[in-house]
Structure 1
Amino acid sequence: MTITELFEKGQTCYKEGKKDSALIFFSLCETRDVESASQEERRFYIRALAQSTQLYSLIYDYEKASNRLLRALSLSRRYEIQEETPKIYVEQGALLMTYATQKRENKYFEQAEEAYRKAFWAAKRYGQWHTMITAFINLGNRMFSSNRIDSIQAEIEAFKSCTEARHEYNYQYAYYLQEGLIYMEKHEYDRARDAFRKQMRSLPPDDKYSYLLYGSYASMVKSFVYEERYDSAIVYELQMLDLATRMNMKDGQTVALYDLSEMYRLNGDSLKSAEYYNQALRHKDSLLTRNKLDEVAVMQVVQQLEANKSELHGYKRYTLYVSCLLFLIVGIGVVWFLVWKRRPARESQAVAPAEKYMKSTLDDETKEQLRAKIQEVFEQNREIFTPNFNLDRLAELCESKPKYVSQVINQLYGSNFSSLLNQYRIKEACRIINEEDKLGNYTLEAIAGLVGFKSRATFHTTFKRVMGQTPGEYIKTVRKKMS
């Protein structure tokens, strides 16, 4: 059988839901000699690699998925078959989103966003409407979840102007998504939810659309969070978890569990929050153990994403630049780590010398007013226990500038932002540990997450620095007093 015949057999099996059989046919395409094949055969060879990427991702074999994706990208460039790149970019975005979700790191989310954005414009350019809509849905959902709807206005306008795309089955779903996003931007939350409900009703009663239904639930959750209606948000979050569990959507389960932990925390139920956080950690660990996607493979995918910019936009190739930059970043990271390891156990609380602020326009009265606002945030606003809380956000809450907030913390607290934040977080961790009725219900990972630390190791190190003993030692001390 030719490459084309094998691909078409695989596609037929895929549409019939026979994914294992489809993967066999797509894999057989890879056994054919692509060098001696015609340009048309090469096109189907690349399509088979892209479809294999998706299927391997579905069974959580991310090593094979990333290998196929990289080969598809390489061949599309080598044989100048650029019309196949939109589908590849979509799979690239999905792979990076998976890794970002499991690692919960912004840099991978950003790369996934870039891949979806490239897929959208490339698909529009080649008139591949289904792929364009798929990219738009993924990009829209991502920007909605990260509160950056305004950053995709160009894509929204381009989507609305594409009358040619209206015959695609997923067009109506995407149309209601952009309608909901526009209402969210205007703070018309009830109308936004009406649009998201129309999204759900536009889907056929078929399990293969479960991932789209999951996205609609997520939009509903976000709309309620904007209004701080956490009880309602939890209702839809539980539906997300139920759907993901029923359809064996492992990544979806992890996201829903983390979100439920956060929803219950915001709703004041710390016990439920810790329960779901523990479940999320166990689920994430099992996923990371099960899949084979490592950071090296992800960085290769990212480099290919950067390299392909030249084909899509006519930019100069700069893969070497990206590689050098990555090595430079790694080198700086290694040096920083070695320096950090050698520093004294007690964190330096070096206060900026007075000379540094000689040109500052802050007078003593203004400093005291700002200090009071900082104190109020740290003592009354539980947002400081969220993982991404930073100096810029503190400045927003204090209605000031980051440089002024930093100056006041340095001069009036004799500290720096990170140290002060960690003191309050560790204080909260101690409060949780000292609650006798809940002490046995929390793991150290759960406590770390509840007070804003992204890892147990960082929590452990910071706790010892602040308290002079490890969390485990502190827990033993508390239990001894209780007995």
Structure 2
Amino acid sequence: MKKTACNIFLYDKNYIFVSKIRLNHMIVSSNKLRILLLCLFIVLPYWFYSINETKYGLIYNYYKDFDVDSLAEVGDSYYKKNSLDSALVCFSIVSGKYNDEASVEMSKLCAHSFNRCGVIYLKYNSYEKALSMFLRALEICEQKNYQTYIPKIYNNIAHVYYLYKDYATAESYCEKAYELGVKNQDEEIQNIVLKNLIGLNCYLKGYEKAQQHLKLLNKQHSNNNPTFDYYLCISNGAISLKQNKYSEALDYFLRSVQYADSCENPNQLKYSSLSNISKAYSYMNKMDSAIYYLEQGENIVSSHLYMDLLADCYNDFSEIYRQLNDKPKYLSYKEKYLNIADSIFNIQGFGHIKDMQFLHEMDKVEKQIYHLNDVQMMKDHQIKLQQQILFTVVGAFIVILLLLLMLYRQNKRLKESNDELFNKNLEILKSDDIQKKIRQQVQIEHEKQAEPDDSVENKVKYQGSFIGEEEKRNLQEAIQNVMDNTLEYCSVEFNLDRMATLVNSRTKYVSQVINECYGKNFNAFINEYRIKEACRKLIDIENYGGYTIAAIAESVGFKSNANFNLIFKKVTGFTPSVYQNMAKKRQNTPPDSLD
């Protein structure tokens, strides 16, 4: 039907072209001639359509009373001659005569007819109708246990999913078809399915599977087999392409072109080779060569009306011109691709196909249950199933209950551990504050007794390369004085140089004293004081309760919030947010409950 429509379309275009030539030569002709030509232009398509409808009606009326055996043979004869419209009419008549009481031979003919209808609809790019025909054929074969024909149907269903680029589902159906083909010892279907599996393996990048299937295919053929050589080149080329060995891949693909002419479906295989050659050149950034070989592939698929391959070809062209930043050509080929893709691949149709497949599977399950003869067995099975479910539910409930209990006890222990750790942090802060006050009082008394030129600031002045014990002690006192009596360390810019300036010393001596007297480096020493100051602010809910963690981190001298969180947890054992939440809970808890 589509081919007829296509011929009508081409005929109309030629007619318009001829008409325009004549009008150019007869530009001074009368208005009557123009009106006549316009009428012909309007009426001509309807005339062809009526002829087409009459043709189908004549075929149907001629064959409708034939017996199914003769009609199936006629349909096969038309199919081999590529008279698909006539073949479709014959197979539709045969398949329409199927019923559940049909004999085994009648069922086989009907299954064959449904399958052939599906293949014809595939060639017409009507994929939903095709799948519905295949599923109907599969249903008949399963009902009548016609196992030898099922692999062909599985392979055809895989073809539908392949066209919709659902390669995983297509591969699963091909694997089913191959298993049944081996079981039925059908070498022909094994050969066909193995070729399809190799192609699908390459699409899914399952190159190891492809090599295994190539070995199986080689076992079925003698030496000098061009089909095997073709798929071997394509598979090895795809593997080389994956490994970025572009020159090696290109060599394999070029060799595959030579074998394609000797295979079945040479045009489709040759296009696949040319497309892969183009892809290899594009990876090598040789876009002129990529375009050249893709144009050769376009000539093949467009002349033979392989619409799905033509869509892929235009999509590849658009990708090449996108890489070349040629926007007009990119948009032109993208539009061509979308036009074809919209006409033969629509998402709603694919969804409908999935639904049909699901309904078919569900129908199979329902029929299997329906044919169970022993009702008591079903009841016993249901009772056992209910018992299993009950035991499972009770067991699951017990397990969940135990898990909840364990979780509760774990949370309780964790809370107690956190409370203990929080209390220790509070005790450390209190101890630091007490020691700080003691040091301040000692310093005040010391300053009263000291001579005016005997202050800590003057004591730590020295220029030598060696620092004695007295200088160390004086420098430590100066450093401790800065840390106790100022908040300089809370500045983001505070560093070793600033500390050396404040204590009137050199940086290396400051670093040496901190390492020797406090057992840590400068950064760790300063960060510890900063974290303690942050802790004071976090527990001071009244003054700092509205501050964010980031704001508190910045206020104590941390540039990075992430670094603050890391060091805070290292020092206190808590994250800042948990520490703040615990402080808030303590504030909201009555005093009596703290004991």
Q: CA deviation at 1:56?
A: 0.9
Match of 1:96 in 2: 161
- Residue in structure 2 matched with residue 153 of structure 1 by the alignment: 211
1:196 aligns with 2:256: yes
The aligned amino acid for 1:213 is K
For residues 168 and 321 of structure 2, what CA distance do their matches in structure 1 show?
27
Q: How does 1:47-446 map to 2 (within 5 A)?
A: 47-100=112-165, 108-163=166-221, 172-182=226-236, 184-185=238-239, 187=245, 188-203=248-263, 209-225=266-282, 227-288=284-345, 293-301=349-357
2-side partners of 1:302 and 1:141: how far apart? 26
Pairs aligned (count): 296
**Residues of 1 paired with 2:106 and 2:281: CA distance?**
50
1:295 positional shift:
0.9
Distance of 2:234 and 2:300 partners within structure 1: 22
Equivalent position amino acid for 1:18 in 2: S
Deviations 1:351-406 (A, max 9, x none): xxxxxxxxxxxxxxxxxxxxxxxxxxxxxxxxxxxxxxxxxxxxxxxxxxxxxxxx
Offset from partner CA, 1:385-432 (integer Å, 9 cap, x none): xxxxxxxxxxxxxxxxxxxxxxxxxx89xxxxxxxxxxxxxxxxxxxx
Change (3 A) 1:266 1:286: same
Note if contact 1:13-1:22 (Cα within 8 Å) is conserved in structure 2.
yes
Structure with bigger gyration radius: 2
Q: Which amino acid aligns with 1:178?
A: L
| Residues 126 and 344 in structure 2, CA contact (< 8 A), matched pair in contact too | no
User: Matched residues in 1 for 2:109 and 2:271: separation?
Assistant: 31
Alpha-carbon distance, 1:304 to partner: 5.1
TM-score (structure 1 length as normaliser)? 0.54
Shift in CA distance, 154/26, structure 1 to aligned 2, threshold 3 Å = same
Contact 2:261 2:267 in 1 (8 A): no
Counterpart in the other structure of 2:390: none
**Could you tell me which residue of structure 2 aligns to residue 10 of structure 1?**
75
Question: Aligned partners of 2:67, 2:269: CA distance in 1, in Å?
Answer: 35
Any idea what SS the aligned residue of 1:210 has?
helix
Q: How far has the Cα of 1:109 moved from its partner?
A: 2.6
Deviation at residue 270 of structure 1 after TM alignment? 4.4
Structure 1 residues 191 and 52: alpha-carbon distance in aligned structure 2, compared to 1, 3 A threshold? same
The match for 1:389 is: none
Report if the CA contact (8 A) 1:196-1:220 is conserved: no
Distance in structure 2 (CA, Å) of the matches to 1:28 and 1:265:
50
- Structure 1: 5+ residue stretches without partners: 101-107, 310-410, 413-483
Taking the aligned partners of 2:361 and 2:178, their CA distance within structure 1 comes to: 14
Counterpart of 1:154 in structure 2: which amino acid? Q
Contact in 1 for aligned 2:84/2:120 (Cα 8 Å):
yes
State the identity as a percent. Answer: 21
- Higher relative contact order structure (alpha carbons within 8 Å, sequence separation ≥ 6): 1
Q: After superposition, what is the alpha-carbon deviation per residue over 1:164-189, rounded to whole angstroms, capped at 9, x for unaligned?
A: 8x89xxx6334421243135435532
Structure 1 residues 234 and 23, CA gap change in structure 2 (3 angstroms): same
Distance across 2 between alignment mates of 1:127 and 1:306: 30
Contact 1:93 1:112 in 2 (8 A): yes
What CA distance in whole angstroms lies between the structure 2 residues aligned with 1:6 and 1:260? 45
Secondary structure in 2 aligned to 1:127? coil
Q: What is the Cα deviation at residue 294 of structure 1?
A: 4.4
Shift of 1:113: 2.3
What corresponds to 1:397 in structure 2? none
Retained in 2: the 8 A contact 1:92–1:301? no
Shift of 1:84: 1.0
1:41 aligns to 2:95 (yes or no): no
CA distance in 2, matches of 1:93, 1:183: 24
Which structure 2 segments of 5+ residues have no match? Answer: 1-65, 366-561, 564-595
1: CA distance, partners of 2:136 / 2:82:
25
The worse-fitting range, judged by mean Cα deviation, of 296-305 and 123-132 is 296-305
Q: RMSD in angstroms over aligned alpha carbons?
A: 3.4
Q: 1:14 to 1:283 in 2, by over 3 A?
A: same
Any conservation in 2 of the 1:133–1:174 contact (CA below 8 Å)?
A: no
1:466 is matched with: none
Q: CA offset at residue 228 of structure 1?
A: 4.9
Cα separation, 2, equivalents of 1:264 and 1:233: 11
TM-score norm. by structure 2 comes to: 0.44
What CA distance in whole angstroms lies between the structure 2 residues aligned with 1:177 and 1:288? 27
1:150 shift after superposition: 2.4
Q: Deviation string for 1:36-74 (max 9, x for gaps)?
A: 433233223212211110101211233321211111121
